[in-house]
Each structure stands twice: as structure tokens, then as C-alpha cells.
Amino acid sequence: MIQLFRVSKVYPPNFPALTDLHLQIEKGECVFLSGPSGAGKTTLLKLLFRAEEVTEGQIIVNGRNITRMNGAGLARLRQEIGLVFQDFKLLPYMTALENVALAAQVIGLSVRESRSKAFHLLRELGLKDKHGSRPPSLSGGEQQRVAIARALVNDPVLVLADEPTGNLDPDMADETIRLFLKIQEQGTTILIATHDTRLLRKFNRRVVMLQRGCLVGDSKHGDAGAGS
């Protein structure tokens, strides 16, 4: 699903965020991307949905080289990827249902279809009674579930989550990760960036460890440091 070949990212004037990264993630895997703040987790995710361009190297996502992608190709790529952020990125003046349906509408689903799909997902995520609420009136966990519903509404093949539990209490964080694992069971590839080692220990999935922009461990290869 994801292949990185000698990927480097340097921010101007000369700040290396990622250096010579090799990584392969199979379809249907759930991988934790971990490391301390400033390790390059967010940069790597941004490269995967092309919010940033690589300085060197190649990235293949779902069989397509996205390194120099733009315009319509970029839009298509993002329609195949579900994104979840620490700060949820929900629109406060829209209801939970409208927030989720927005993502479906922009790719061409009718208002009715989008709303129906959004409602179905919110119900599955336990927000049946909250679909008419606006984000400011929802708890952090509820807002994150709305964001996850929005990420899933277009049936993505890949979900990228950047510190999705960063603003949640431990119970809510566990609940959110369980939700991601449930999504993974349906065949979706999940990549979760987190620096919460408690979650890594608890959920025992593949962990890719970054430090100062370099890959320093991958539990798939039994590297020390990853998953500990």
C-alpha cells in the first residue's frame, strides 16, 4: 500500500525533517508511527497525502507514484485517503452530520446520499443522537469520532491519523484506537502517528520508530526500541 524509497525532506533554509527513509506498509496493516516530538512523524504523514513535497526520493501510495502529483491527480489521491488530526479540523458552524457529509459532497455524492452515508457512519460510531450537534457542544472524544466518520465517509483505502488521541483522556484514547482497529479489520490500511508509548504497548501492533528524521526501529523486523 505504501512504499518509500530513499525519501528525504529538507525545510528551508536547511532543516532536514526526514533523511533517507525506506519503508513499506502492506495493504490492510495497522502501523503505529512513533517517536519524540520533532522526529518527523507529521512530516511523513504530510508527504503521504501530499501536503508537502519530498526533497528527494519516491513515494508510492496504492500503486501510484505521488512524488510529483498535482491538480486532479492530487484530488483523486486524497479522495482515497481518510485523514484524522489531533485538533479534529471540524467546522464549528456545521452540525456533525454536515461535517461528515461535506467530504462526500465534494467528491460528487448527492446531498441525500452524502447525508444518508454520514448518518449511517455516525450511528455506527455511537453518535446517533449527536448528528445534529455542532462540534463546540461535543466532547473531545465525540469530536474525534465525528472526524473519524468524515475520514471514512468516502471508503478510503488508507487512513492517516496524526496524533488522534493527543487531546483525549486515556479511556477515550483507547476507545479511539479500538475504533481504528475495527476499521482495519475491514481491510483498510491504517497509519497512526503517536508519541504515546502506553498505546503502543497496549495494542501490540507494528511500530515504526523515527528519531530526528531517521528511521531508527521497525518492530516488523524485530528492531529494538520499537514498540517498547
Partner 1 sequence: MRLSQAHFVIQRVLRSLRELIWTHVLTAGTMAMTLFVFGGFLLLQENLTGLLKGWSSQLQIFAYLEEGLGDSELEFVQRQVRSYPEVEGVRYVSKDEAWESFKTDLGAQSGVLEGLDREILPSSLEITVKKSYRQRASVADLAGRLKEVKGIREVEYPEAWMEKLSLLLLGVQWTKWIFGGFLFMASLLIVGSTVKLAIMARRDEIEIMQLVGATDRMIKAPFVIEGMIQGLLGASFSLLLLWLLFLFLSMRLPPSLGILIPGDQLRFLDLWQVSFLLLLGWLLGAVGSFFSLRRFLGA
Which residues inside 19-58 make contact with partner 1, applying CB under 8 A? 49, 51
Query: How many residues of this chain bind partner 1 (CB under 8 A)?
Result: 26
- Out of 22, 38, 68, 106, point to the residue binding partner 1 (CB under 8 A): 106
Q: Which of 152, 133, 144 is nearest to 95 (CA)?
A: 133
Task: Supply the DSSP symbol for 68.
Answer: T
Q: Tell me how far, at minimum, the Cβ of 35 lies from partner 1, in Å.
A: 23
Element spanning 4, H or E: strand 2-11
Contact of 46 with 222, CB cutoff 8 Å: no
193 binds partner 1 (CB under 8 A): no
- Is 68 a binding residue for partner 1 by CB under 8 A? The answer is no
| Interface pick for partner 1 out of 69, 83, 158, 179 (rule CB under 8 A) | 83
Cβ nearer to partner 1, comparing 21 with 103 = 103
Q: Hey, CA dihedral for 65, 66, 67, 69, is it positive or negative?
A: positive
Segment lying near partner 1 (by CB under 8 A), choices 1-9, 18-26, 103-111, 213-221: 103-111
Taking CB under 8 A as the rule, does residue 110 contact partner 1?
yes
DSSP string, 165-191: TTTS-HHHHHHHHHHHHHHHHTT-EEE
Q: Please, which residue, 157 or 216, has the CB nearer to partner 1? A: 157
Q: From edge to edge, which strands make up the β-sheet containing 158-162?
A: 81-85, 158-162, 189-193, 30-34, 206-211, 214-218
CA dist., res. 157 & res. 140, Å (int)? 26
> Could you give the CA distance from residue 158 to residue 173 in angstroms, rounded to a whole number?
20
Closer residue to partner 1 in complex, CB, 88/209: 88
Sole binder of partner 1 in the list 17, 54, 59, 109 (CB under 8 A): 109
Between 162 and 218, CB nearer to partner 1:
162
Q: Would you tell me which residues interact with partner 1 (CB under 8 A)?
A: 49, 51, 71-72, 75-81, 83, 89, 91, 102-103, 105-111, 113, 150, 154
